[in-house]
């Protein structure tokens, strides 16, 4: 077990560095809503890429994905590579998001959809869906912090203490300077995440006798986990159920699509995409390797708590274990503060569209506090309904995909079609999962929700007319000018 005093000292140093960055970021703020939420649209590719990566590759990677590898084997790599392949959507959609946001001044992705279809209700509904499905996802980040710190210290750091720590860090770093402090701290946290994970896996493999012995041990003792479905988790149905919603993550999750609004130019966008892809591939391979290492160094776990068990197995030096704890803490906090800030922007821009900039910033800060409090309270109480909603988050957010694709590629799409698609798909997701009890591992859920959203969007759009005030996202000339597809 790791000493609580060591963990608290490391967290204090880490928090101090974050506060310094946040204070420095606050000095650059100009007081406008655009500056608070988007940093004046002036970010370079490196910081934006690391921030995107830190937001996307949350504590899920070294806690959940590692656990899925521990439980089901190599299928976890296939699942995550499907998500990684979905990042290829950035090549098509990132330039369009960026150009549309700069031309019309959009701050939130929901605001962009509302303007495209000429209806503030489309923006409001998209924002509401994000609130419903992203707030419980924040709770899982808090729960991950609590389980990790409690697990590596043998319960000497309690769940409440751990959750309070994560909440304080996320709230302060977001409130101080908005996107600047979030993005700058994200960039540092991404380096800590990747560096600590790489160090830890090198020590874990060394403890097993090197890469040859590690691979031989997996093949000899865990050979069934090198095939699909392996021990049984990764059936074709489960694979489809989990992979389909995650493939569209880059355009369905507003906390990452909003990152496309902050870039200063196309060169920065290209660098950002390269950084995200490189980080994502490396982190995916590390997380899966970590799971296979845990199978050999800490076998027979009942609850797939692979990471805490491996960190306290004696194979990882204490200083590396502490660094990885900080890395996972950083991953959870970066995801939490990014989601909170995006939800704040959605409330400010989509529900308070006519408010003054100061009021929009204040409203966003209030939302940030409420989101963090919600996540903290429910993480501590371990409410079952939140676990269900969190599992639904990817499928639930997928309901915005047809309207998002249609915004750029189908002029016939209408506000009524977007409202029916988003609202009907979200209602179906909640009904199937929470009332009918359809498991998130059942492909019927993702296929039904995705199919219903697409069908409603097309059918209702065909039966209705576009609104006169709807924008035409004809960006071909701009795309040609910047050399984008």
Residue 266 has pLDDT above 80, yes or no: yes
Residue 389 has pLDDT above 60, yes or no: no
Residue 340 has pLDDT above 60, yes or no: yes
> Look-up: residue for tokens 């290209």?
270
Alpha carbon separation from 405 to 55, 236, 320, 334, 392 (Å, rounded): 23, 27, 44, 28, 21
Listing DSSP states for 46-114 in one string gives: HHHHHHHHHHHS-TIIIIIIHHHHHHHTTHHHHHHHHHHHHTTHHHHHHHHHHHHHHHHT--SHHHHHH
Is residue 135 a contact partner of residue 340, using CB atoms and an 8 Å limit?
Answer: no
Residue 452 lies in a domain: no
- Report the C-alpha gap between 453 and 445 in whole angstroms: 12
The confidence score (pLDDT) of residue 385 equals 54
Residue 439 lies in a domain: no
- Report the C-alpha gap between 404 and 476 in whole angstroms: 17
Is residue 404 a contact partner of residue 455, using CB atoms and an 8 Å limit?
Answer: no
Residue 410 lies in a domain: no
Would you give the DSSP letter of residue 173? H
The confidence score (pLDDT) of residue 141 equals 82
Considering the entire predicted model, what is its pTM?
A: 0.91
**Residue 355's domain spans which residues?**
4-383
Residue 394 lies in a domain: no
> Poorest-confidence range of 14-28, 119-133, 241-255, 379-393?
379-393
Instruction: Report which of 416, 474, 401 is spatially closest to residue 104, judged by C-alpha positions.
Output: 474
Highest mean pLDDT among 120-129, 206-215, 347-356: 120-129
Q: Which pLDDT band holds residue 473 (cuts at 50, 70, 90)? A: very high
Is residue 328 a contact partner of residue 62, using CB atoms and an 8 Å limit?
Answer: yes
pLDDT in tens, 71-122: 888 888 988 899 899 999 999 999 999 999 999 999 999 999 999 999 999 9
> Average pLDDT, whole number, for the chain?
88
Per-residue pLDDT, averaged over 195-212, amounts to: 91
What phi and psi, each to the nearest 5 degrees, are found at residue 210? 105, 175
Per-residue pLDDT, averaged over 294-322, amounts to: 78
Is residue 145 a contact partner of residue 162, using CB atoms and an 8 Å limit?
Answer: yes
**Which positions ≥6 away from 110 have C-beta within 8 Å?**
122, 123, 124, 126, 127, 130, 254, 346, 349, 350
The confidence score (pLDDT) of residue 388 equals 56
Residue 61 lies in a domain: yes
How many of the other CB atoms lie within 10 Å of CB of 351?
A: 17
Provide, rounded to the nearest whole percent, the portion of the chain with pLDDT above 70: 97
Alpha helices in 382-441 (DSSP H): 384-397, 401-409, 415-430
Instruction: Report which of 11, 191, 25, 126 is spatially closest to residue 415, judged by C-alpha positions.
Output: 126
Highest mean pLDDT among 219-223, 254-258, 313-317: 254-258
- Report the C-alpha gap between 131 and 114 in whole angstroms: 16
Buried/exposed 165-177: b ≥16 CB within 10 Å, e otherwise: bbbebbbbbbbbb
Per-residue pLDDT, averaged over 286-310, amounts to: 79
Identify the bridge partners of residue 263 per DSSP, sorted by sequence position.
43
Token digits for 200? Answer: 């830890």
3-state SS assignment for residue 43: strand
Handedness of CA 456, 458, 463, 469 (dihedral sign): positive
DSSP run (H or E) holding 120: helix 120-152
Residue 438 has pLDDT above 90, yes or no: no
Q: Which pLDDT band holds residue 237 (cuts at 50, 70, 90)? A: confident
Identify the CATH number of the domain in which residue 254 sits.
1.20.1730.10
Residue 389 lies in a domain: no
Q: Give the count of domains, the chain.
A: 1
The confidence score (pLDDT) of residue 247 equals 93
Residue 72 lies in a domain: yes
Residue 48 has pLDDT above 70, yes or no: yes
- Give the relative orientation of helices 236-247 and 384-397 as an angle to the nearest 10 degrees: 70
Residue 310 has pLDDT above 80, yes or no: no
Residue 406 lies in a domain: no
Token digits for 8? Answer: 């608290």
């Amino acid at each position: 077990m790791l000493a609580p005093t060591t963990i608290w000292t490391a967290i204090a140093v880490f928090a101090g560095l974050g506060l310094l960055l946040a204070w420095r970021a606050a000095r650059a703020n100009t007081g406008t809503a655009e500056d608070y939420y988007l940093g004046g649209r002036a970010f370079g590719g490196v910081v934006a890429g690391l921030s995107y990566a830190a937001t996307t590759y949350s504590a899920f990677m070294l806690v959940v994905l590692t656990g899925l590898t521990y439980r089901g084997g190599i299928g976890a790599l296939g699942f995550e590579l499907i998500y990684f392949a979905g990042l290829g959507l950035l090549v098509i959609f990132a330039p369009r998001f960026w150009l549309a946001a700069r031309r019309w001044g959009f701050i939130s992705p929901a605001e962009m959809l509302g303007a495209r279809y000429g209806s503030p209700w489309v923006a409001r509904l998209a924002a509401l869906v994000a609130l419903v499905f992203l707030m419980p996802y924040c709770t899982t980040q808090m729960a991950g912090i609590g389980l990790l710190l409690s697990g590596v210290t043998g319960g000497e750091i309690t769940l409440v203490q751990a959750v309070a720590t994560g909440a304080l860090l996320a709230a302060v770093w977001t409130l101080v300077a908005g996107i600047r402090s979030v993005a700058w701290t994200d960039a540092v946290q991404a380096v800590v995440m990747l560096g600590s994970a790489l160090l830890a896996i090198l020590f874990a493999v060394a403890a097993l006798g090197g890469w040859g012995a590690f691979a031989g041990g997996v093949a000899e003792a865990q050979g069934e986990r090198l095939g699909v479905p392996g021990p049984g988790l990764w059936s074709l149905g489960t694979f489809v159920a989990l992979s389909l919603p995650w493939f569209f993550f880059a355009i369905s999750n507003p906390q990452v699509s909003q990152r496309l609004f902050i870039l200063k130019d196309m060169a920065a966008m290209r660098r950002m995409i390269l950084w995200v892809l490189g980080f994502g591939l490396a982190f995916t391979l590390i997380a899966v390797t970590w799971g296979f290492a845990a199978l050999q160094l800490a076998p027979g776990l009942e609850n797939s708590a692979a990471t805490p068990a491996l960190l306290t197995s004696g194979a990882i030096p204490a200083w590396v274990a502490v660094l990885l704890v900080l890395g996972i803490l950083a991953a959870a906090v970066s995801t939490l503060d990014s989601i909170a800030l995006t939800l704040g922007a959605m409330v400010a821009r989509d529900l308070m569209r006519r408010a003054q900039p100061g009021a929009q910033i204040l409203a966003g800060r209030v939302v940030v506090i409420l989101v963090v409090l919600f996540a903290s309270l429910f993480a501590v109480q371990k409410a079952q309904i939140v676990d269900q909603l969190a599992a639904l988050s990817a499928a639930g957010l997928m309901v915005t995909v047809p309207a998002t694709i249609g915004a750029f590629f189908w002029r016939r799409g209408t506000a009524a079609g977007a409202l029916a698609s988003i609202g009907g798909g979200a209602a179906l997701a909640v009904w199937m999962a929470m009332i009918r009890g359809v498991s998130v591992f059942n492909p019927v859920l993702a296929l039904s929700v995705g199919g219903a959203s697409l069908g409603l969007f097309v059918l209702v759009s065909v039966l209705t007319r576009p609104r006169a005030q709807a924008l035409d996202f004809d960006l071909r000339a701009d795309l040609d000018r910047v050399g984008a597809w």
